[in-house]
């Protein structure tokens, strides 16, 4: 086999690998969508904690969601390093919203309701371990920032409304579906606003 032919065959293999990766990403997501357990992560409205405003906010192409269930009590802060990776297991509370069951450094066994997340000790209250989930960022279609901004201000950060993100979880795989704002999907609200403009 001459050199050119070998290069050509090798390129075809590389090209197939390049196509396989995104296809695999989609199929893994579809698997999670089909068999993963759905959790509702309640978002917290804008609250003033000390000098900091906490709440969901628009950051470029995504909304940074501020979940109510984003921390857990810890016994010893020395056990945790800055920005460490940890496994967070979930269960449901009496109202049907996601609740942290445990945060461990080792992979959980016996349940598939877990994701890997970043954790760090709260700098003001060292008895709290703060968690940043991989689904904290909710991608948006960014042609209408004004409408998105208004939904965040009047919907997501309104303390009188119940807002949550639906996430299907299975063994660290997760699939984000709807962001519900006062019972209506976020996308539906944005489309409605677009039509009226």
Interacting residues toward another protein by CB under 8 A = 4, 7-8, 10-12, 14-15, 17-19, 21-22, 25-26, 29, 61, 83, 85, 116, 134-139, 141-144, 175-176
Which of 34/47 has CB closer to another protein?
34
Which of 100/147 has CB closer to another protein?
147
Q: How far is the CB of 138 from another protein (least distance, A)?
A: 7
Which of 144/158 has CB closer to another protein?
144
DSSP-assigned letters across all residues of the chain: --HHHHHHHHHHHHHHHHHHHHHHHHHHHHHHHHHSEEEEEEBP--EEETTEEES-EEETTEEE--BSS-EEE-S-GGG--TTEEEEEEEEE-TTS-EEEEEEESS---S---EEEEEEEE-SS-TTEEEEE-TTSEEE--TT-HHHHHHHIIIIIT-TTS-EEEEEEEETTEEEEEEEEETTEEHHHHHHHHHHH-
Please state, as a whole number, how many other Cβ atoms lie within 10 Å of the Cβ of residue 181: 22
Q: How far is the CB of 60 from another protein (least distance, A)?
A: 11
Which of 158/166 has CB closer to another protein?
166
Q: How far is the CB of 28 from another protein (least distance, A)?
A: 8
Strand 62-64 to 137-139 pairing = antiparallel
Which of 158/191 has CB closer to another protein?
191
Q: How far is the CB of 25 from another protein (least distance, A)?
A: 5
Q: How far is the CB of 49 from another protein (least distance, A)?
A: 25
Q: How far is the CB of 137 from another protein (least distance, A)?
A: 6
Which of 27/127 has CB closer to another protein?
27
Q: How far apart are CA 14 and CA 36, in angstroms?
A: 32
């Amino acid at each position: 086999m001459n050199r050119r032919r070998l290069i050509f065959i090798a390129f075809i293999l590389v090209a197939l690998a390049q196509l396989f990766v995104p296809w695999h990403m989609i199929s893994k997501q579809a698997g999670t969508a089909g068999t993963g357990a759905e959790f509702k992560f309640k978002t917290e409205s804008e609250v003033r904690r000390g000098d900091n405003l906490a709440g969901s906010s628009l950051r470029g192409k995504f909304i940074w969601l501020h979940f109510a269930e984003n921390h857990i009590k810890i016994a010893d802060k020395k056990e945790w390093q800055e920005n460490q990776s940890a496994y967070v297991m979930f269960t449901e509370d009496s109202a049907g919203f996601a609740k942290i069951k445990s945060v461990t450094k080792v992979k959980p066994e016996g349940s598939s309701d877990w994701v890997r997340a970043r954790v760090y000790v709260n700098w003001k209250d060292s008895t709290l371990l703060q968690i940043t989930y991989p689904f904290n960022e909710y991608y948006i279609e960014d042609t209408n920032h004004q409408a998105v901004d208004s939904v965040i201000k009047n919907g997501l950060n309104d303390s009188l409304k119940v807002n949550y993100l639906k996430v299907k979880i299975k063994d660290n795989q997760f699939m984000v579906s709807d962001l519900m704002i006062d019972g209506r999907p976020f996308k539906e609200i944005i489309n409605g606003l677009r039509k009226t403009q």
